[in-house]
Structure 1
């Protein structure tokens, strides 16, 4: 496995997240700076325009005055409100007075694209052609037709905004560096838990199957990841242990019949058996071969089911048809053993499941029932219930001892009957695994000497 030193810096998660953090900071800082710049620009423009409007309001409040009186009033307003910044223009059919002096208006008049009469009621911003100073201009009309234009010259707003922009630009580069460093530090701290998961995975890869991730206990996502990782390791460890134990038992179960088959073949060859004797030996060995093939198949099916890799082919089918098919399969054995086999299920009951897997479950359960029912009866019932279907397999056999009841679904757990050979110890485990793969459950109830009932619940969607 590759180490961190072999990974290019730009491919590391810490570097990528730090860059993303810095980009996010840059975009956020730029958006904030533009918002502040725009707000200050609007505020300064609004302030200057308000000053001009206030001057116009005061001037228009002077009623029934002569031109000379209005001239004096304009100068007074200029001195009170704006002094150096405020300029006033009085336009009548006979005159065009510009205060404090015509020179203050010269650079603005050349860029005005409308007559004073056309500008009445409008708020304009005019930039001087010489100084570049912006003029906030408002225009009004008096009762006698005189047009009044009041302008407020902005000498500082542009300078203030320019200084603000320069300050933001100077802080931008250091801000990016700080954002990268802060992002790298925060990311590295956040990923310490992920590093612990990686280290645990490396120890497991090197053979230490007891390795676990140390949790922080703070309950964040990385801590929950560590908990889930440990849970997965415990599950894998349990599966490996179960597989090892099962393989040991299966190896023992295979070794005994294989040794017996080999011994029989060697003895037959050594004594020079006839063709008829060889044919008889092969016929007797066929049942043993079938038993071995069945055991290997059950081990494979059980491994698939417990690992979650079993593929279910769900179809909809009549439940009664499947139960009658199983009944027909066991009918010769029931007749030979003197066991009354019966099936009960509504014809209208539809089942949604993997038909072949469910058939395998029923075959194993009925085989188990026949094995422990010397005479008596075996009954299979199917019925609809809330949220699904219940299948019950009951017998009047010897029952299961209370101390064995909790272990009947354990792998390789076997309880023999004196006159019958015990099974592989895998059948009921396989039944439970297949039922749980369907999202269902299986339970058992038994009374020694009276019989046993296995109940299967399968949800239906």
Structure 2
């Protein structure tokens, strides 16, 4: 893909790959270095022990038969050393050679009992010798050493193999990082292009999924969920704008008409007061609509979460029952509260109170006769709040739609209201991460009616 190659080294994946390769390389160098040092030390120790044993054998021969026996043993050793891997030198006190296969005493061996390392030219080759010298009781000096070139060649081979292995590891790591970065860039470019198309206004598009279930698929799924919510909110805003313009036009027209009549001054004072009173009533209805919109915005914005605390839903239900029971009785309706205290959740008390007020107000408005029940129960480690009535109910195919803003089942708008009651309750439920369910009324002998249930799964108490 064009443009990927120059950018691959800027990706997090490639940088992480380089970091991993660097750390692995450092670790490998440390491990191989430790192995090398341990191997070299072990080989030197073995060489030293071999030389010491050979020197002890010669000293034992010297003790048994003196200088003559020592010389015979050295001569025997020289005849048996066909490869020239050993050096033997018997010298006098002035370091002049007496017997051996070295032309002279090593210059650095001025003191006996110390390990020596020197190079010896022999058979057109250079031998690396490790030797030890001692002083004999007769004043002579004895030096014994062995060729350690095989050990050095082994260590050199090991170093070369380690370096080749390290180089191969670095190349594979860099190559793997490059390939992984290309793959990540390819997937990211797909997401970027999808986002660009969406930003140009096509909100129906979604991020493609490969189906691998990897982090990119999970990211795409999350983005798609976010886009679904954004599309829903934008559609809601468009619907709100249209419905708001429609619902505001009629009352504003009526207000303007009534105020114009009042402005003419025609008619008696009671008539003028009636016109102004009607305009005020319409204005109150408009204010109620705007207040409901502000409440929905507060609930959907999430800022109210900062004021959440433990709330007993039973106490909220009692307050609403005390407020609306006289109103229900005046309309010939029976209202009851069932459940019990201790139904505690983490929530916003004022918004919960407003949601329940809306539900009960709707129930009273659309119930001509019968009963209204408020129920608070603990259910599956959560809390359930429901309002049931025996009113006209809502058809099953309309229950999801009535949760949208400005949606009313009365197209002619003959019943006072703004179509925001249930949408406000739904927004408050979402704020509390609760589930709002609309069903047929569960009250006994209820042929019609509605039950609105809000289930709070995170109840505490």
Fold shared, TM-score > 0.5 on shorter chain: yes
Deviation at 1:367, TM superposition (A): 0.8
Structure 1 pair 75–428 and aligned structure 2 pair: CA distance change class (3 A): farther
Structure 1 pair 258–78 and aligned structure 2 pair: CA distance change class (3 A): farther
Q: Which residue of 2 aligns with 1:66?
A: 65
Q: Which residue of 1 aligns with 2:10?
A: 15
1:253 is the counterpart of 2:247: yes
Deviations along 1:260-296, whole A, 9 cap, x unmatched?
A: 2122222322354666544433332333223222222
Deviation at 1:33, TM superposition (A): 4.6
1:205 is the counterpart of 2:204: no
Q: Which residue of 1 aligns with 2:363?
A: 369
CA distance in 2, matches of 1:362, 1:334: 15
CA distance in 1, matches of 2:221, 2:260: 57
CA distance in 2, matches of 1:388, 1:444: 18
The partner residue of 1:421 within 395, 404, 415 is: 415
Deviation at 1:391, TM superposition (A): 2.0
The partner residue of 2:262 within 251, 260, 268 is: 268
CA distance in 2, matches of 1:151, 1:273: 138
Secondary structure in 1 aligned to 2:276?
A: helix
Q: Which residue of 2 aligns with 1:452?
A: 450
Paired residue total: 439
Q: 2:381–2:459: 8 Å Cα contact kept in structure 1?
A: yes
Structure 1 pair 156–397 and aligned structure 2 pair: CA distance change class (3 A): same
User: Which deviates the most, 275-284 or 288-297?
Assistant: 275-284
Deviations along 1:279-327, whole A, 9 cap, x unmatched?
A: 4333323332232222223334435545656535222244443222212
Deviation at 1:356, TM superposition (A): 0.8
Secondary structure in 2 aligned to 1:109?
A: coil
Q: Which residue of 2 aligns with 1:144?
A: none
The partner residue of 1:295 within 268, 289, 299 is: 289
The partner residue of 1:189 within 163, 177, 183 is: 183
Q: Which residue of 2 aligns with 1:39?
A: 35
Secondary structure in 1 aligned to 2:350?
A: helix
Question: TM-score normalised to the size of structure 1?
Answer: 0.74
Structure 1 pair 148–449 and aligned structure 2 pair: CA distance change class (3 A): farther
The equivalences for 1:38-437 within 5 A come to 38-57=34-53, 60=56, 65-67=64-66, 68-74=68-74, 76-77=76-77, 84-87=84-87, 100=100, 106-110=106-110, 116=113, 126-128=116-118, 136=130, 151-155=145-149, 183-184=177-178, 186-272=180-266, 277-303=271-297, 305-306=299-300, 311=305, 313-405=307-399, 407-416=401-410, 421=415, 423-437=417-431
Structure 1 pair 268–102 and aligned structure 2 pair: CA distance change class (3 A): same
Q: Which residue of 1 aligns with 2:138?
A: none
User: Which deviates the most, 433-442 or 301-310?
Assistant: 301-310
| Unaligned stretches of 5+ residues in structure 1 | 141-146
Structure 1 pair 317–81 and aligned structure 2 pair: CA distance change class (3 A): farther
| Unaligned stretches of 5+ residues in structure 2 | 135-140
CA distance in 2, matches of 1:289, 1:79: 127
Q: 1:139–1:150: 8 Å Cα contact kept in structure 2?
A: yes
Secondary structure in 2 aligned to 1:191?
A: helix
Deviation at 1:256, TM superposition (A): 1.6
Deviation at 1:341, TM superposition (A): 2.6
Question: TM-score normalised to the size of structure 2?
Answer: 0.74
Structure 1 pair 377–214 and aligned structure 2 pair: CA distance change class (3 A): closer
CA distance in 2, matches of 1:402, 1:163: 84
Structure 1 pair 375–38 and aligned structure 2 pair: CA distance change class (3 A): closer
Deviations along 1:231-278, whole A, 9 cap, x unmatched?
A: 332332232123212321222112221122122222322354666544
Deviation at 1:418, TM superposition (A): 11
CA distance in 2, matches of 1:344, 1:148: 113
Deviations along 1:355-377, whole A, 9 cap, x unmatched?
A: 01110110011011101222333
Structure 1 pair 247–312 and aligned structure 2 pair: CA distance change class (3 A): farther
Secondary structure in 1 aligned to 2:403?
A: coil
CA distance in 2, matches of 1:235, 1:105: 94
Q: 1:56–1:148: 8 Å Cα contact kept in structure 2?
A: no
Q: 2:259–2:279: 8 Å Cα contact kept in structure 1?
A: no
CA distance in 2, matches of 1:209, 1:406: 22
Deviation at 1:197, TM superposition (A): 1.7
